Structure 1
């Protein structure tokens, strides 16, 4: 085995009695290779949660695999969609106590039916949807089907028996099993949930602590959304870069919880708006621009299109590094879009018009993000309605440079806003141009700017 530094591994067994210089770990712990060791068969590694470093025996760990992006991967493998009662009975043969499935009710559209085998009979429980909650008996209420199945797998409640064995829909694979097998499933009992730090379109985001590490937890309670996010999470398991917000794992409990590293300084828009010119100088702005560009260059190398690149989706770490977030929503293909939800001011003309999303449409958005950075978080196209923006941009209008914006930075923005996608540079070219710009700012101003950004954070 020849693992490069940065490779993540899962411990196959405990190493509780570590010898001097060795790392202490338990089965299932995630460890990151730091270096090869002089000792044959050993690696120097860092524990992902305790952050301690030491030697590990390569035979005691396996590489943490990325999840396969598989349309069959399901958080609800027991959900069979719209099938009739007799069909459900047929699927629950031969009889087995606690064998179950959930189907959509044909007689009562919008409701579900839980079908359970017990004493050679199949019992059908209507699941009523009311006030955004689900219930079978008007006593126990659930956020979603995942929550309900979790509950009745532990307690029989009003059912004839507890749920024991799910009858999987043909072709469905249990996301829980796959996550567990590949080492991405985290343990809810080790999570301490803290304050709410944001409301997303899909659910709330909380500050938390997982085995001593500060984390952000995105909770998704809607079944359908959680299922969609499962596919996105599979994409995130493949990506590792210093300028992308890192996925730490997933917790399945009353829905889906996506656990990422905590970015203590919030998003880039608020960061710039609350600090302003006195704290953040041009060199720091260029550094943020470069950080985002490097993250996007990496996504480009993986043939991933972000589709919603904007300063609100860039987060700032404790040591003032900008990282791209919500890239899990990136699509490998670019077919489905909801036009009503497109962020008009950031979306390239061809994507608005013909729904053509590509790395080159991300480059356009990146140009708008640069404008936001050098305008210290101002809203782009100030005082213009979305309709005006659409029409004027299509006709060739481009924003003026923000106040005090270095001419070189504005020149880069304009390159990103070429009407024809093929004329826009790729992210590697943009990175070279930004590096040249940064080299023009004197080293002292660059260092001073970073220091100011750090101190400004804590004020």
Structure 2
């Protein structure tokens, strides 16, 4: 039985208690999360850091298991206690037999837009109207919340204006608690260990902040809206499945005031701004080919996992302190593409068959990669300069393709054009593109 070798940074979960450590060993309890620091001197041992206490010491490989990916499951809910539009009578039926602190939340039928918190107390079910005003939720107007998750969290710790502390959620049939699944998988982080810093970017859903988690620099997305947070849960489950040096790494999730998604920190920001602010005088053609190669490696890995990114563009590529480009924002990445969900597709980056028939595949990602190459070799210019979106769609359909960026190596332009074949079947795979870029790197390196 060969023990898998774990790279530094691998997150593991303790399979048992180890509370009486020998000298140099780490103390931990079952379920604790430990990060591998490096190999131990002896066989089957690792030096690891305890994610809660920050202590370091030796652990035996047999007493820990690697953190596992979370199944992408539509039943996974951040709000398993939310039952949608049901009547007050239905709520009472669901909360039988009544026990103090058993609760659920439903949509108010009488007051559309409001909610009702239904709580059992002394064999009765009490209904509290939750008023939605000025983008906030409140029961007693003394305290307001951004969203339901926040409100329930508060009343699970404080009695406030209600009859009793909420202690037991009544789950909607068929849902699973995302919190429990994330915790079991080892992806739930501790809010108390997160220090938040300045905003470093702005997504459609809210700010991206810089932060620190147990001494490590991190980037944090905080999604306050319930519905968006639920949608981002899918992105997060995709990120638990993928690990590659050219993909931005998920460190974990915090459920507190909505959803916090914690990823590794990429010091040099996104690739568009990186290229625009430094320009030709700092960034050589060899650097450009290296960025293109990095992205291609990350995409080849996604292709091998049958994952489609759907929003590949230089704005979604981040650059690390040591100039490695990594693919981020699996916000639209889906495993199952049969569902026709008209997410706002970025027209200038999207393949014609994806725009017209919503046919998204690794081959439509390859088309987007061609546009990304054009962005890289034009030092961050916006594709199809001076053309409206309508013109782009019509002209591309008729066979128009962008001209080569200034001073772009002809062989790279040939690659770009191969990504823009009208027939998806004629476009190269990322595997093929990677081989060609490897040759380019060797040539550029020897110049």
Q: TM-score per shorter chain, which class?
A: over 0.9
**2:314 pairs with 311, 314, 337, which one?**
311
In the TM superposition, residue 5 of structure 1 has moved relative to its aligned partner by: 3.0
SS in 2 for 1:127: strand
In the TM superposition, residue 45 of structure 1 has moved relative to its aligned partner by: 4.6
SS in 1 for 2:417: helix
In the TM superposition, residue 106 of structure 1 has moved relative to its aligned partner by: 1.2
The 8 Å contact of residues 294 and 324 in structure 2, kept in 1 or not, is answered as yes
The 8 Å contact of residues 205 and 216 in structure 1, kept in 2 or not, is answered as yes
* Structure 2 unpaired stretches of 5+: none
In the TM superposition, residue 306 of structure 1 has moved relative to its aligned partner by: 0.2
Partner of 1:19: 23
Partner of 1:29: 33
1:148-195 deviation per Cα after TM superposition (whole angstroms, max 9, x unaligned): 000111111111111111011111111111111111000000000000
**2:297 pairs with 274, 277, 294, which one?**
294
SS in 1 for 2:162: coil
C-alpha separation between the residues in 2 aligned to 1:55 and 1:114? 48
The 8 Å contact of residues 156 and 165 in structure 2, kept in 1 or not, is answered as yes
SS in 2 for 1:341: coil
The 8 Å contact of residues 46 and 60 in structure 2, kept in 1 or not, is answered as no
Partner of 1:43: 45
C-alpha separation between the residues in 2 aligned to 1:48 and 1:264? 25
SS in 2 for 1:195: strand
C-alpha separation between the residues in 2 aligned to 1:378 and 1:18? 59
C-alpha separation between the residues in 2 aligned to 1:409 and 1:8? 39
TM-score w.r.t. the length of structure 1 is 0.92
**1:352 pairs with 344, 350, 355, which one?**
355
Alpha-carbon distance change, 118 to 252 in structure 1, aligned in 2, over 3 angstroms: same
Q: Does 1:123 align with 2:129?
A: no
Partner of 1:272: 275
C-alpha separation between the residues in 1 aligned to 2:196 and 2:20? 28
In the TM superposition, residue 17 of structure 1 has moved relative to its aligned partner by: 4.7
* Structure 1 unpaired stretches of 5+: 446-459
The 8 Å contact of residues 3 and 33 in structure 1, kept in 2 or not, is answered as no
Q: Does 1:56 align with 2:59?
A: yes
C-alpha separation between the residues in 2 aligned to 1:29 and 1:310? 34
In the TM superposition, residue 130 of structure 1 has moved relative to its aligned partner by: 1.1
TM-score w.r.t. the length of structure 2 is 0.94
Partner of 2:147: 144
**1:383 pairs with 383, 386, 391, which one?**
386
Aligned-residue RMSD, C-alpha: 2.1
In the TM superposition, residue 14 of structure 1 has moved relative to its aligned partner by: 5.2
Query: Equivalent residues in 2 for 1:68-107 (5 A)?
Result: 68-107=71-110
In the TM superposition, residue 353 of structure 1 has moved relative to its aligned partner by: 0.5
Partner of 1:439: 442
Aligned residues between the structures: 441
Alpha-carbon distance change, 371 to 53 in structure 1, aligned in 2, over 3 angstroms: farther
Partner of 2:398: 395
SS in 2 for 1:441: helix
Alpha-carbon distance change, 89 to 340 in structure 1, aligned in 2, over 3 angstroms: closer
C-alpha separation between the residues in 2 aligned to 1:133 and 1:74? 21
Partner of 1:4: 5
Alpha-carbon distance change, 114 to 280 in structure 1, aligned in 2, over 3 angstroms: same
The 8 Å contact of residues 48 and 59 in structure 2, kept in 1 or not, is answered as no
In the TM superposition, residue 398 of structure 1 has moved relative to its aligned partner by: 0.4
C-alpha separation between the residues in 2 aligned to 1:311 and 1:153? 43
Q: Does 1:428 align with 2:397?
A: no
Alpha-carbon distance change, 31 to 373 in structure 1, aligned in 2, over 3 angstroms: same
